[in-house]
């Protein structure tokens, strides 16, 4: 690999470290604290339920930070894997975006008072969503530098392509397993044995530690899972092992310029977002964004605040939360661009279609989403599966979580 190509990308990422951990407001410079994007006491606390092993918990749907070579993107918010984990209210929705002063001064109304449909309140909900988006980008830049680029020297191995081909064959085997197949222990063992054979036969690069690592993780899979297990869950566990193997072989040389372009694009996008919001806060110009606020009648034990993109790759924020005082689920969708015509359509569409649209966004692109375990359990199995699949903005299934 050309050291110059790699060094250019490393230097670019190194410059970004100076902003990491600092308040989202550029003129501030103070250290950011762990603050919540969703009110801990008014919302998250009320979604918690008892778990026999972990105590009082809620479920968190979040991104798994990665570098997606297949789609040539940094994965966060676009083509990203997700995972559903259990956690308590204190650690839920925490991110390091604002300093202690600005977090308290800016968002105390959101965290402590009943929602009011005003330019200021809706702006602040969008502000926190986009601040999370930018903060997660910075986290991913660190991941790219620390976990990926440091291993890039490995791609000098002339037989890396052999390793890639071997892993692709493993993936092909996984495609043969039906998602809805209820796999018993014996059946699972036979599939794992097939994968082991492929590793021994086709992963011919002299990477003994890598081979040991894969085999060790496969053995743990046999011990850890509960049977019967759905095919899609089994495949997801295997995919994590394969992804870990890809990380160990580093970044292909031809991907370095592409990654540099992607990082530069994300940096430019993040700076534009910060400039718009921070300028608006200083001038108290809260109508700088377009938004629509349209609640759903009834309480649904799910909440979230995240940025998503439409089929044209335009960014929007979605904030939704149950408001127990009014017996409504508040929903705010906001755009940094002039999209008032698009947003106005959300005010007039049929209630059922509105619920389906919101469901589609949450199911197919949701991250920083929290729900009570019982809410997730009552969802259709198809919806549960879609929630933890790869994000997508096309070919979306029409599903409804607000029944």
pLDDT in tens, 240-270: 777 666 555 555 666 677 778 878 888 899 8
Is 392 contained in some domain? no
140 plus 16 within the same structural domain: yes
- The 10 Å Cβ neighbour count of residue 338 is 9
DSSP string, 181-225: -EE-HHHHHHHHHHHHHHHHHH--SS-HHHHHHHHHHHHHHHHH-
Residues 78 and 54 reside in one and the same domain: yes
Q: How many CA atoms lie within 13 A of 61 on its CB side?
A: 30
Domain boundary among 210, 229, 248: 248
- Count of domains observed in the chain: 2
401 inside domain:
no
Confidence of residue 223 (pLDDT cuts 50, 70, 90): low
pLDDT tens track for 199-217: 666 554 445 566 666 777 7
Same-domain pairing of 234 and 265: no
- H/E element holding 334? strand 328-335
Q: Kindly state whether residues 235 and 171 are assigned to the same domain.
A: yes
Do 270 and 218 fall into the same domain? no
Decide if pLDDT at 292 tops 50.
yes
Q: What is the pLDDT of residue 83?
A: 80
* CB atoms near residue 216 (< 10 Å): 11
Please say if the pLDDT value at position 285 is more than 50.
yes
Same domain for 191 and 53, yes or no, is no
Cis? peptide before 38, omega within 30° of 0: no
- Helix H or strand E segment including 309: strand 302-309
Answer whether residue 291 is part of any domain: yes
- 53 assigned to some structural domain: yes
Looking at the fold, whether 357 and 296 belong to one and the same domain comes out as yes
DSSP 153: G
CA distance 134 to 24: 9
Closest CA to 359 of 335, 334, 380, 374: 380
Residue 318, Cβ neighbours under 10 Å: how many? 23
339 in any annotated domain: yes
Sign of the dihedral defined by the CA atoms of residues 315, 321, 325, 328, in that order:
positive
Q: Could you tell me where the beta strands, DSSP code E, fall in 71-110? A: 73-74, 82-87, 94-96
Domain boundary among 216, 248, 280: 248
Domain-ending residue, one of 184, 215, 248: 248
User: Could you give the C-alpha distances from 21 to 24, 25, 138, in angstroms and in order?
Assistant: 9, 12, 9
d(CA 178, CA 242): 19
Helix, coil or strand: residue 52? coil
Q: Taking all residues of the chain, what is their mean pLDDT, rounded to a whole number?
A: 81
**284 and 345 fall within a common domain:** yes
Q: 309 φ, ψ to 5°?
A: -125, 150
Residue 328 pLDDT greater than 80, yes or no: yes
Question: In the prediction, which pLDDT does 76 show?
Answer: 44
- 168 versus 265: which is more confidently predicted? 265
% of the chain at pLDDT higher than 90: 39
Quick one: pLDDT at residue 337?
A: 82
Same domain, yes or no: 132 and 276: yes
Q: Is residue 402 part of a domain?
A: no
Domain range for 201 is: 158-248
- Give me the count of residues in the chain: 403
Q: How confident is the model at residue 160 (pLDDT cuts 50, 70, 90)?
A: low
Residue 94 lies in a domain: yes
| Residues 304, 329 within the same domain | yes
Comparing 255 with 51, the larger pLDDT belongs to 51
DSSP 41: I
198 and 341 part of one domain: no
Task: Classify residue 398: in a domain, yes or no.
Answer: no
Same domain, residue pair 238 and 343: no
Q: Can you read off the two tokens belonging to residue 387?
A: 């929630």
């Amino acid at each position: 690999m050309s050291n110059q190509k790699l060094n250019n990308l490393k230097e670019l990422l190194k410059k970004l470290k100076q902003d990491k951990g600092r308040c989202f407001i550029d003129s501030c410079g103070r250290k950011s604290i762990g603050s919540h994007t969703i009110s801990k006491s008014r919302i998250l606390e009320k979604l918690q339920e008892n778990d026999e092993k972990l105590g009082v918990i809620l479920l968190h749907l979040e991104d798994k930070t990665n570098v997606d070579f297949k789609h040539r993107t940094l994965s966060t918010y676009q083509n990203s894997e997700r995972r559903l984990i259990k956690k308590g209210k204190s650690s839920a929705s925490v991110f390091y975006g604002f300093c202690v002063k600005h977090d308290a001064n800016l968002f105390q109304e959101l965290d402590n008072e009943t929602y009011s449909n005003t330019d200021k309140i809706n702006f602040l909900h969008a502000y926190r969503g986009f601040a999370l988006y930018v903060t997660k980008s910075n986290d991913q830049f660190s991941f790219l530098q620390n976990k990926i680029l440091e291993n890039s020297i490995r791609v000098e191995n002339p037989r890396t392509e052999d390793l890639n081909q071997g892993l692709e064959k493993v993936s092909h085997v996984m495609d043969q397993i039906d998602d809805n197949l209820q796999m018993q222990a014996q059946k699972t063992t036979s599939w794992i044995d097939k994968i082991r054979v492929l590793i021994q036969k086709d992963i011919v690069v002299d990477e003994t530690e890598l081979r040991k690592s894969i085999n060790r993780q496969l053995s743990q899979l046999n011990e850890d899972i509960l049977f019967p297990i759905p095919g899609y869950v089994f495949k997801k566990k295997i995919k994590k092992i394969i992804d870990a193997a890809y990380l160990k072989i580093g970044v292909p040389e031809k991907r370095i310029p592409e990654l540099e372009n992607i990082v530069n694009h994300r940096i430019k996008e993040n700076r534009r977002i910060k400039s718009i919001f921070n300028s608006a806060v200083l001038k108290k110009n809260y109508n700088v964004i377009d938004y629509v606020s349209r609640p759903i009648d009834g309480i649904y034990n799910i909440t979230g605040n995240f940025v998503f993109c439409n089929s044209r790759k335009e960014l929007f924020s979605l904030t939704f939360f149950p408001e127990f005082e009014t017996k409504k689920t508040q929903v705010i969708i906001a755009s940094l661009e002039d999209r008032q015509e698009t947003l106005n359509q959300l005010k007039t569409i049929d209630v059922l279609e509105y619920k389906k649209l919101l469901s589609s966004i949450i199911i197919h692109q949701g991250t920083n989403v929290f729900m009570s375990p019982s809410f997730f359990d009552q969802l259709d199995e198809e919806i549960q599966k879609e929630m933890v699949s790869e994000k997508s903005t096309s070919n979306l299934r029409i599903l409804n979580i607000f029944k």
